[in-house]
C-alpha cells in the first residue's frame, strides 16, 4: 500500500506544522478526508483551538469546535505522521533581507521527529532554492535520514487570502511539486483530496518556489503604479478613483487600486526575490522601485493629513486624530506587518498621538507588536480629524450621522476626513462641512 492509499484509509496521518492563517485552514480541510495532527509551538494558540476558538477568524469557532484535527504543541506527536505540511511565516528583517528563522526552526523540530518513508511539503513563501538547499540539509542533519532515500520533499506554495471567504484553499488551483516523479505523484493526489479546483504539477521545486514569489511581486508593482498615479493626480487636483473607474471600462484594464501595502505576502515576498537576485549579481530596478513607493505611502498620507489640518486652521501639535482600522487588511484580526503603523509613527513625529479603533483587530497582538492600544469604535469622540484606514465590513455601514458623532462639537465645518480606501460616497462628504481627501 502506498502513502496516498494509507492516508485515504486513515492508516497514516497528515501533520500541519504551523497553525496560523495558512496552516489552520489546511488542517481543517484535510481533517474532513484524513487523520490530521495540527502542531504549533504556541501553547496558548493550541489551547484556544482545543477550546473551539478560532483566533484567526479564518474558518470560525463553530468549524474549530467540529473539526477532528488533533491539536498539539508536543513535537513528539509529529512522529505519528507520515505526510508533513510546513506552513510557518517567512518574514523579512528590518533591513529587508529574508528572515528564515521560523522556517529553519520548524525544519529542525520536524527533523527531530521525522520517520523513514515520510514526505515533507513546504508551503511557506521562499526564494528559489530554499527548500532543497536550506531545509533539506536541516531535515537530514536532525533526523539522520537521507532525502531521496529515506524521505521525500516537495513544495506547494500557499495561496490562501486571509479574510477572503470566496477564494479559499478548495477553490484555488494548487501548485504542487516534488523532488522526483514518485513524490510529485503522491503529493498531487493527496492535495487533490481537498482542492476542488485541481492541482498544477510544476516541473521542479524551484519553479514552484519562483512562481509563488512572483505572484505577489506582480501585485506589488501594480499597486505601486496606482499609488504613483494617486500622487500625480493629487497634484493635478483630479480624483484618482474617478479616473480608475473611467479607465476600468476598457476590457483589458487591470483593476488595481492605490493603498497601504502590508501583510505577510505582498509587502514581503518581493524582497525574497530581489535578495536572491542580488546574490546572483543582479540589482532589481522595477521590483525595488515599486517597493519603495509602497513603503513610503504612510508618510505620503500623513503629509496630506497635515495639509488638511492647516487648511482647517487646526493646531497640529496634540491634534486629536482618530484612526478607524489597524489590521493589515480588511476583515482579519492580524495586525502584524500592518502599514497603518507607518501613519501612527509619522503622526507622532508631529506631536500627535492618534486614537486607534478597530472592531476586528487582536488587541493583545497589537499591544505586543507595536505597543498600540486598540479601542472600540463607539469610543471615537471629540476628534479633530478621522482617518478611515481599513475597509472592515463594519465600516461599510458608517453613515454621515455616525461619522459626525466622532468629531468635536466645535467642528461644524471643515471636518478633516481622510478616506484611504475610498469607502465613502465622495459627493456626500464634499460639502463645506467636510474637508475630504482620499488616495
Domains for the chain: give ranges and CATH numbers.
3-203 (3.40.50.720), 222-438 (3.40.50.720)
Mean pLDDT of 161-180: 80
Q: What percent of the chain has pLDDT over 70?
A: 98
Task: Report the SS3 class of residue 8.
Answer: helix
Tell me how many degrees the CA angle 249-253-256 measures, rounded to the nearest 5: 105
pLDDT tens-digit series, residues 7-30: 999 999 999 999 988 899 999 999
Residue 433: the pLDDT is 86
pLDDT at residue 162 in the model? 64
CB 102 within 8 A of CB 89: yes
85 close to 15: Cβ distance less than 8 angstroms: yes
The three-point CA angle 8-10-15 to 5° equals 95
Joined together, the cell numbers standing for residue 314 give 487646526
Report residue 223 as a C-alpha cell: 499597486
pLDDT given for residue 39 in this prediction: 97
Mean per-residue pLDDT for 347-359?
95
> Alpha carbon of 4 to those of 68, 229, 237: distances in Å?
19, 51, 61
d(CA 88, CA 40): 9
**SS3 labels along 154-182:** EECCCCCCCCCCCCCHHHCCEEEEECCHH
The DSSP bridge partners found for residue 323 are 356, 387
What's the grid cell of residue 259?
493603498
Query: Catalytic residue numbers?
Result: 265
Confidence of residue 277 (pLDDT cuts 50, 70, 90): very high
* Residues comprising the chain, all counted: 439
pTM of the predicted protein model? 0.90
Outline where DSSP puts E strands in 331-400.
355-357, 385-388
Given pLDDT bands bounded at 50, 70 and 90, which one contains residue 77? very high
Q: What burial class does residue 113 get, using C-beta atoms within 10 Å of its C-beta: 0-12 exposed, 13-18 middle, 19+ buried?
A: buried
What mean pLDDT is predicted for residues 35-53? 94
Q: What's residue 167's pLDDT?
A: 63
**Range with the poorest average pLDDT among 1-5, 113-117, 299-303:** 1-5
Per-residue pLDDT at 165 exceeds 70: no
The closest alpha carbon to 56, from 28, 90, 77, 78, belongs to 28
Amino acid at each position: 500500500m502506498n502513502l496516498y492509499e494509507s492516508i485515504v484509509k486513515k492508516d497514516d496521518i497528515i501533520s500541519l506544522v504551523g497553525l496560523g492563517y495558512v496552516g489552520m485552514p489546511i488542517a481543517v480541510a484535510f481533517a474532513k478526508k484524513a487523520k490530521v495532527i495540527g502542531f504549533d509551538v504556541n501553547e496558548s494558540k493550541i489551547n484556544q483551538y482545543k477550546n473551539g476558538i478560532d483566533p484567526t477568524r479564518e474558518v470560525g469557532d463553530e468549524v474549530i469546535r467540529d473539526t477532528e484535527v488533533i491539536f498539539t504543541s508536543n513535537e513528539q506527536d509529529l512522529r505519528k505522521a507520515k505526510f508533513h505540511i510546513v506552513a510557518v511565516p517567512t518574514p523579512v528583517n528590518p533591513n529587508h533581507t529574508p528572515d528564515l528563522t521560523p522556517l529553519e526552526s520548524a525544519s529542525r523540530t520536524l527533523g527531530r521527529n521525522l520517520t523513514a518513508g515520510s514526505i515533507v511539503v513546504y508551503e511557506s513563501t521562499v526564494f528559489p532554492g530554499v527548500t532543497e538547499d536550506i531545509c533539506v540539509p536541516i531535515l537530514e542533519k536532525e533526523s539522520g535520514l537521507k532525502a531521496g532515500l529515506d524521505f521525500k520533499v516537495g513544495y506547494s506554495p500557499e495561496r490562501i487570502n486571509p479574510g477572503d471567504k470566496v477564494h479559499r484553499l478548495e477553490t484555488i488551483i494548487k501548485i504542487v511539486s516534488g523532488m522526483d516523479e514518485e513524490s510529485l505523484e503522491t503529493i498531487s493526489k493527496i492535495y487533490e483530496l481537498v482542492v476542488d479546483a485541481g492541482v498544477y504539477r510544476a516541473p521542479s521545486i524551484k519553479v514552484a518556489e519562483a512562481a509563488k514569489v512572483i505572484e505577489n511581486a506582480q501585485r506589488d508593482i501594480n499597486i505601486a503604479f496606482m499609488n504613483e498615479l494617486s500622487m500625480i493626480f493629487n497634484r493635478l487636483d483630479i480624483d484618482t478613483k474617478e479616473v480608475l473607474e473611467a479607465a476600468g471600462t476598457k476590457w483589458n484594464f487591470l483593476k488595481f487600486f492605490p493603498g497601504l501595502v502590508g501583510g505577510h505576502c505582498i509587502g514581503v515576498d518581493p524582497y525574497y526575490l530581489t535578495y536572491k537576485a542580488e546574490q546572483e549579481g543582479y540589482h532589481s530596478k522595477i521590483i525595488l522601485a515599486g517597493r519603495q513607493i509602497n513603503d513610503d505611502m504612510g508618510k505620503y498620507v500623513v503629509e496630506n493629513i497635515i495639509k488638511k489640518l492647516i487648511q482647517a486652521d487646526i493646531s497640529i501639535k496634540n491634534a486629536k486624530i482618530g484612526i478607524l482600522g489597524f489590521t493589515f487588511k480588511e476583515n482579519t484580526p492580524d495586525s502584524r506587518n500592518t502599514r497603518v503603523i507607518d501613519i501612527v509613527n509619522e503622526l507622532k513625529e508631529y506631536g500627535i498621538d492618534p486614537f486607534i479603533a478597530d472592531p476586528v483587530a487582536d488587541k493583545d497582538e497589537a499591544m505586543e507588536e507595536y505597543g498600540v492600544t486598540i479601542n472600540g469604535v463607539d469610543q471615537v469622540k471629540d476628534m479633530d480629524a478621522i482617518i478611515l484606514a481599513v475597509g472592515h465590513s463594519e465600516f461599510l455601514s458608517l453613515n454621515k450621522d455616525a461619522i459626525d458623532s466622532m468629531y468635536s462639537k466645535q467642528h461644524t465645518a471643515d471636518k478633516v476626513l481622510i478616506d484611504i480606501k475610498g469607502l465613502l460616497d465622495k459627493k456626500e462628504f464634499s460639502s463645506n462641512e467636510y474637508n475630504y481627501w482620499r488616495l
